[in-house]
A and B are shown apart, each in its own frame.
Chain A
């Protein structure tokens, strides 16, 4: 009987405790209801953002093509009087990339062999050295343009290709990338027949519907190796790019002692443009070192304008 009485008492206590607990939960729910309780908030919904990245949070993006995680930490803004540029600290987990080359296999084989290898932090070379912090980490403030020329089917005995694909990519401050296509052929490979020069016209458009366009200063400028022009983002912001240097510039007879090239860098960074792309294609290591040493001595505002293209 005692046991019966005891169990009744325990049951009563449990019931009382349960009522208190439920009341407490009701109270807690009333206090901490958030937008997450009704599903995923719109700003955190998966999908393609207006700027072309897969938006998972306000700070991070995931590149759908290679799965890399990209973080963008806001650090502040520069400018004022109606024009300001966000400055951010960015990280990309894609610090390794695959490269392909031909290597010599010494005797007794004595032959060239194709090889694939992994490169560490190769993607960082797309950034101006002054934006780099550590492999994968860069400071971002402006969109960059990246040009890539891909030859398809080599012409027998020649250096050119039967088809040429010209790729132009906008790298956004948050490390998201948007591919542009030329209006003329909408990105189709150009049939050169091993002799005709590639033609891409003057206007390029974004493939993701973001409304970004790039107008090169001259007709067929991008295919000719020049990124001089105006990038117009979807919200109407315009970025002016200028460029200097071609492979022939670095031939010793043209380069001289380099003084005129360095003088021109100063002229360009003083010009009313946002970026100066210095094409280092064909430059020797000592020439690159000379240029980078010279640039390191420029004022911070001038350095920020410079992009190296290789």
Chain B
């Protein structure tokens, strides 16, 4: 449906909400129920809320607020690597995770007004979003 801008240290990328919600939900799952650090617990809860569908057009992973140092950045990058290695992961989620990784590594140079030629696209309806809307299916 709508798109959100993911921002970190002044740079960022636009993503269709469904792909971003999918990646954030996977990352929250990967953090697990009992992370060993408190900030990860808060990050997990925040990302779960962000992937709920209630934030259309303004999904904000709060990277600047949570990923405040290199150690935390490496932790999130490791989470991204974990989910990217899942063989069942959709191409759209894989590419979105790659954009997120590039942003954290400082390799993304686009901002909100940049041309949108990098945006991940794919056929709709997106299965993950559809299953979330109709869990009985």
Contact = CB atoms under 8 A, between A and B. Distances in A.
A, B co-complexed: yes
Interface residues of A, number: 31
Given A254-B54, A267-B7, A260 B115 contact: no
Contact of A260 (B52, B54, B58, B124): B58
Contact of B125 (A218, A261, A268): A218
B1 A254 contact: no
Nearest to B1: A226
Contacts of A251: 54
A141 B48 CA distance: 41
B116 A272 contact: yes
The DSSP consensus for interface residues of chain B is loop
A197 B125 CA distance: 14
Interface in B1-54: 1-5, 7, 12, 14, 16, 18, 49, 52-54
Interface residues of B, number: 30
A183 to B, nearest CB: 15
Interface string A100-112: 0000000000000
B55 A254 contact: yes
B112 A244 contact: no
Contact of B1 (A243, A263, A270, A271): A243
Interface of B: 1-5, 7, 12, 14, 16, 18, 49, 52-58, 60, 62, 111-113, 115-116, 124-126, 133-134
26 contacts: A197-B134, A202-B124, A217-B3, A218-B16, A220-B125, A221-B1, A224-B1, A225-B1, A228-B3, A244-B2, A244-B56, A245-B56, A245-B57, A246-B53, A246-B54, A248-B52, A254-B49, A254-B54, A260-B60, A263-B58, A268-B5, A268-B57, A268-B112, A270-B113, A271-B112, A272-B115
